[in-house]
Amino acid sequence: MTRLRTIGAVSDGFSIGIDLGTSNTVAVLRWPDGRTRPLLFDGQPLLPSCVQLDGTGRLHVGRDAQRLAQVDPGRFEPNPKRLIDESMTLLGDREVPVVDLLAAVLGAVASATVQACGFLPPAVLTYPAAWGAARRDVLREAARRAGWASHNAPGIDLLPEPVAATRYFTDVLRRPVPVSTCLAVFDFGGGTLDVAVVRNDGAAFSVVSSGGLPDLGGLDLDAAVVTYLCDLVGRRSPAAVGALTTPGTAVERRQRRAFWDDVRGAREMLSRTTVAPVSVPGVDEAVHLTRDELEKLAGPLLQRAVEEAGFVIRGAGLQPNQLSGLFMVGGASRTPLAARLLHARLGIAPTVLEQPELPVAEGALMERRAAVPVPAAAVSPAGPPDQPPLPGAESPPSFGPPPARRVWWRRRVTWVVAAATAVVVAAGAVLTWMLYDPYSFGSLSAVGEGWSVPSGAGTERPGPGIGVENAYVMYKVGDRTHVVAVNLRTGNPKWDVEVPGDPGSGAWVGGRAGGAVVRTTGATSSDAHTLFFLDADDGGRRWEWSLDSGDGVYVYSDYLLVTRGKLDALRKIDYSTGKQAWEALYPDGTRLLTVDNPDFTAAERIADRIVLVAGDGTATSYNSTSGKPISSRGKAVGADDIVHAHGDRLYVASAGDGYQITAYDLTSMGRPDLVYDEETARHVVDFTRCGEDLCVVDGTGSGGAAKEQRLVRIDVGKRERRWTKPVDGAKWISAIGESVLVTSSGSGTFGSKMFTADGTVAFADDARGGHRIDDRGALFWPWGSNEAAPITGVTDKGDHTELATVAIRSGECDADERYVVCGGEKAVKVYRFTR
C-alpha cells in the first residue's frame, strides 16, 4: 500500500499541477486568488508527450516533434514515459538519456508556465501509483533539469495520479468519500489504462490497490477503427490504403497523420451522434462510421479494461458496491461504451466529465492546498455518466521509425485484427453480450523470458505465489534462502533478496497487493518460524514476526490472522505495516473458521467476520475488523462435526452415520434451520455452498474412513436431494458459480471432476487437479508432473479449452484471474490467459 503524506502548505502565490501522460501532458495553473485554468500549448490544453531529435542535437516536443517526424521518423520517440526503466534510447544515430526526453517535455511545460505568469512557481508532478522509488527519482531528476529544484524554491512535489484524481473528485466535484471508504479511479488515457483504489485514511489518501493495462488506450481504439476502414476501403482502393499503412514519402506520412486525426475525431463525435464521416486520403468520398460499428470494434478491447477494473477492486478486498464511487479520467474515457460496460459489469455507475484529461492535473493542486481529506457523510454511489463530452486531442502513433525500433503502431496487431474481425462475424448487438456476459477461455501465452533457476539451487522450493504486481518464488542456494520477484507484466525477474529462515516443509510465499507475505521455517522442526512482508518494488522487508512451528496463519485481503499454538490466542495483523490490531485469548482446543464470501476468487478471500468454535461446542461470530463478538450460541457444534461458514450462514454437518445438516444465522445465532436429513448409514466427507444449493460428498464406512463416495446436491429451500453422482476417492470440493469441482486422491495421484448444476460431468481428468480461479472458471494442471504438461481452462457452464503445454515441477503452479505462474526444473515462467 502506498501511503501519502500531505504536501506542504502553499503560499499565496501561483502553483501548477502537471500530469505527464504516456501520450499527452496536461498542466493546470492556479492563480493567487484560487482560480485555475489549463495551460495552452499551440492553443490546445494537451501537449503531445513526444520528442524529436533534430540534426543539431536539439530536442523538440509536442506538435513540433510530430511535424519534424514526418521528414525524419527515425529520430522520433512517441512515448518517452514508456522508457522510464531504460537509461538511454537510440534516436537516429545518437543515444539520448531517457531523463533528457522527459526533461524536454517538462521543459515545454515550464516555458508555457513562465509565459503565463512570468516565473516558475512551485509544482506538483503526478506519477502512476505502481511506480517505485527508482522511477520516481528519474522523474524528479527530469523536473530538476527542466528548471524545478528538488529541495529549494520553486520546488516540485510528486503525487500518485489516482490520489490527485480523488482530490478532484472530493474537492472540486464535492463528491463524498467518507473516512475508511474507497474510490476507484479508472484512468483511460491515450496510451495506457491505469486502475487504482484510493482510501480516505482521515489524515491522507492512500492507494490500497493498483493495476492496469500498459498496452491498451485510446490509440488502440483508433487502431481498431483504422484497420477496419483500411480493410473496407482497400477492396476498391488498394493503392490508397498502401500509402496509409506503409508511407514512403513525407507527403504520405502527413496524410497518414491527418487520417489518424480524423479517425480520432470521428470516434469522439460518435459519443454525441450515431454516424460520423471519416475522410480517407486518396479516396474521393468520405466513409461513414456508425456508433454500432465503433462499439463492435471497441467491445473486445473495453471488456479487457472492465475485467482489469474488477480485478483491482477485488485486490483491495472490496466488492464494487462497497465503493464510494467510480471516477473515470483520461481522454479515452469519453467512449460511452466504456462507462456502460463498467456499469453493467460492476453494478456501479461511473462519474465521467466533459474534459476527462484535466482532473489529475487540477486535483494535484487540490492535494497541495489540502491539509487533510474532508470526511463526509455516506451517500449512494455516484450517478450515471454525464452527458455528451467535448472532443479532445489524443496523439496519433509514431510515424514510421526504422525497422530496428518499434513498429509504427507501437503494439502487436493481435487485438486490432480481432476487433476488426468482430465487425464481420459478430452476431447480435453489443448489448446482448454485455448483459449476458459470455465467458470462455481463449489462449495461454508466455510473458517474457521468466526466471532461470540458479545452478546449485536446492530441491526445497515452495510453490510460487501470485500478487497484484509480481509472482514470488522462494528457493535456497547453499545455506542462503532467497525470494525472487518476477514481474507479471514483463515476465522477467524484478529483484532477488536474501531472507531469514529455510524453505522447508511449512514454508510458503503469498502474493498480495503491494508485496508478498512470506513464512520460512527453522533449521529443525523445533526451531521458530519467521513471518515477514517484502515490498513489491524493491524486496525491502517491511516487518517481521517470530512464530512457533505450530502457529497458524490465515491471509486475507489486507490483514492476517495468526493463531498461537493450539489457539490459546488469536492475533490480527495488518500485513502492510505488521502492526497488531487486536489479540484475544480463547480456550485450548478452539477451532477457527474462515467465512467465504460468495464472490471470492482464488487470489482473494474477503471476510468481515470469523467464527470460533470452542471445545464445548460454543460457536461465536466475531467482527474481524474490531475483534469484538457479534453473536454466540452454546452447544452448536459437536466435537467431530464438519462445519462450513459461507456468507451469512454457518452450516453444521453432524458426525457419524445418518447425518443432519443445520444452518445458523451468523448475525443472531438463533435457533438453527434443518437443511437436510440423511437417514442412510453415510457420513459427510466435505461440503460447500454451490450457488443457492449445498453440495455434499458423503460415503459409507466405519471409523471415519470413506467408501462408496457420492456427490449429493441439495435444494436448501425444499430440504431435499436434487441428484446424486458417484465420486470414488473424493476428498474435498469447491464451488465455481453453480457448478462444483470435486477432487479425488489415491495412490499418490490427484484428479478432479467438474459437475454442472444439472449433474453433468463437464470435464474430468484423473491425472490433473482443478484449481478454482473465481466463480466463473477453473484451471486444470497436473499435481505430480515433472515435465511438460497441458493446462485446460473450464468454465462454470462446462465449456473447456486446452490452453497450452507448459513445464511444471510437481504441481508447482499458482493462478489468479489473469495469470498462471508455473515452475519447472530449470525456470519459473509467467503465462497470461484470455477469457
Is residue 594 scored above 80 in pLDDT?
Answer: no
192-196, 279-283, 498-502: lowest mean pLDDT where?
A: 279-283
Check residue 667 and give its pLDDT.
Answer: 87
Check residue 191 and give its pLDDT.
Answer: 85
Check residue 5 and give its pLDDT.
Answer: 35
Q: 89 and 96 in contact (C-beta within 8 Å)? A: yes
Q: What percent of the chain has pLDDT over 90?
A: 34
The three cell numbers of residue 211 are 493495476
- pLDDT tier at 785 (50, 70, 90 boundaries)? low
212-226, 325-339, 409-423: lowest mean pLDDT where?
A: 409-423
- pLDDT digits over 1-15, tens only? 443 333 333 334 789
Residue with grid cell 462519474, as numbered in its chain: 351
Mean pLDDT, rounded, for 312-316: 87
Tell me the CB-side half-sphere exposure of residue 746, using CA atoms within 13 A: 12
Q: 682 and 661 in contact (C-beta within 8 Å)? A: no
SS3 307: helix
Check residue 746 and give its pLDDT.
Answer: 64
- pLDDT digits over 617-638, tens only? 899 988 887 888 889 999 999 8
Mean pLDDT, rounded, for 82-107: 92
- pLDDT tier at 797 (50, 70, 90 boundaries)? confident
Mean pLDDT, rounded, for 560-583: 81
- The torsion of the CA quartet 683, 688, 694, 697, rounded to 10 degrees, works out to -30
Is residue 640 scored above 90 in pLDDT?
Answer: no
Is residue 319 scored above 70 in pLDDT?
Answer: yes
DSSP letters for 131-148: --HHHHHHHHHHHHHHT-
Task: Determine the Cα–Cα distance for residues 453 and 661; give it in Å rounded to an integer.
Answer: 49
Please name the residue ranges forming H helices in 692-827: none
Is residue 604 scored above 60 in pLDDT?
Answer: no
Is residue 277 scored above 60 in pLDDT?
Answer: yes
233-237, 316-320, 411-415: lowest mean pLDDT where?
A: 411-415
Task: Determine the Cα–Cα distance for residues 435 and 803; give it in Å rounded to an integer.
Answer: 26
Is residue 376 scored above 60 in pLDDT?
Answer: no
Task: Determine the Cα–Cα distance for residues 484 and 499; give it in Å rounded to an integer.
Answer: 10
Q: How many CB atoms lie within 10 A of CB 36?
A: 17
Q: What percent of the chain has pLDDT over 70?
A: 85
Residue with grid cell 506520412, as numbered in its chain: 253
Is residue 390 scored above 60 in pLDDT?
Answer: no
Q: 605 and 598 in contact (C-beta within 8 Å)? A: no
Check residue 577 and give its pLDDT.
Answer: 86
Is residue 731 scored above 90 in pLDDT?
Answer: no
Is residue 414 scored above 60 in pLDDT?
Answer: no
Burial 751-775 (b: 16+ CB within 10 A, else e): bbbbbbbeeeebbbbeebbbbbbbb
Check residue 567 and give its pLDDT.
Answer: 53
Q: 727 and 709 in contact (C-beta within 8 Å)? A: yes
Check residue 607 and give its pLDDT.
Answer: 57
Mean pLDDT, rounded, for 198-214: 91
Angle (nearest 5°) at CA 252 between 249 and 255: 155
Is residue 500 scored above 90 in pLDDT?
Answer: yes
Cα distance from N-terminal residue to C-terminal residue, the chain: 28
- pLDDT tier at 377 (50, 70, 90 boundaries)? very low
Check residue 73 and give its pLDDT.
Answer: 84
Mean pLDDT, rounded, for 504-515: 87
401-410's contacts with Cβ under 8 Å and 24+ in sequence apart are 401/73, 401/74, 401/76, 402/73, 402/74, 404/90, 405/74, 405/90, 409/219, 409/223, 410/78, 410/79, 410/219
- pLDDT tier at 825 (50, 70, 90 boundaries)? confident
Mean pLDDT, rounded, for 755-778: 88
Q: 661 and 675 in contact (C-beta within 8 Å)? A: yes
Mean pLDDT, rounded, for 98-106: 95
Q: 733 and 693 in contact (C-beta within 8 Å)? A: no
- pLDDT tier at 463 (50, 70, 90 boundaries)? confident
The three cell numbers of residue 386 are 454525464
Q: 779 and 773 in contact (C-beta within 8 Å)? A: yes
SS3 322: helix
Task: Determine the Cα–Cα distance for residues 307 and 214; give it in Å rounded to an integer.
Answer: 14
Task: Determine the Cα–Cα distance for residues 151 and 169; give it in Å rounded to an integer.
Answer: 29
3-7, 210-214, 455-459, 720-724: lowest mean pLDDT where?
A: 3-7
Task: Determine the Cα–Cα distance for residues 462 and 450; give it in Å rounded to an integer.
Answer: 17
pTM of this structure: 0.56
Check residue 300 and give its pLDDT.
Answer: 86
- pLDDT digits over 117-162, tens only? 888 899 999 999 989 888 999 999 999 999 886 444 457 899 999 9
The three cell numbers of residue 444 are 495461454
Tell me the CB-side half-sphere exposure of residue 803, using CA atoms within 13 A: 27
Is residue 557 scored above 90 in pLDDT?
Answer: no
Task: Determine the Cα–Cα distance for residues 224 and 297; give it in Å rounded to an integer.
Answer: 6
Is residue 393 scored above 60 in pLDDT?
Answer: no
Check residue 153 and give its pLDDT.
Answer: 41
Check residue 747 and give its pLDDT.
Answer: 54
Mean pLDDT, rounded, for 792-819: 83
Q: How many CB atoms lie within 10 A of CB 318?
A: 22
Check residue 810 and give its pLDDT.
Answer: 63
The three cell numbers of residue 382 are 455516484
Q: If we measure between CA atoms, which residue out of 539, 541, 537, 501 comes closest to residue 521?
A: 501
Check residue 596 and give its pLDDT.
Answer: 65
- pLDDT tier at 384 (50, 70, 90 boundaries)? very low
- pLDDT digits over 652-665, tens only? 998 877 899 999 99
Residue with grid cell 529443525, as numbered in its chain: 524
Check residue 137 and give its pLDDT.
Answer: 92
Check residue 628 and give its pLDDT.
Answer: 86
- pLDDT tier at 59 (50, 70, 90 boundaries)? very high
Is residue 343 scored above 60 in pLDDT?
Answer: yes
Q: Is the peptide bond before 154 cis (omega within 30 degrees of 0)?
A: yes
Strand pairing category for 182-188 and 325-329? parallel
Q: Which residue has the higher pLDDT, 197 or 835?
A: 197
Mean pLDDT, rounded, for 340-354: 88
Check residue 525 and give its pLDDT.
Answer: 74
- pLDDT tier at 436 (50, 70, 90 boundaries)? very low
Mean pLDDT taken over the chain: 82
Mean pLDDT, rounded, for 220-233: 88
Check residue 787 and give its pLDDT.
Answer: 67
Check residue 824 and give its pLDDT.
Answer: 82
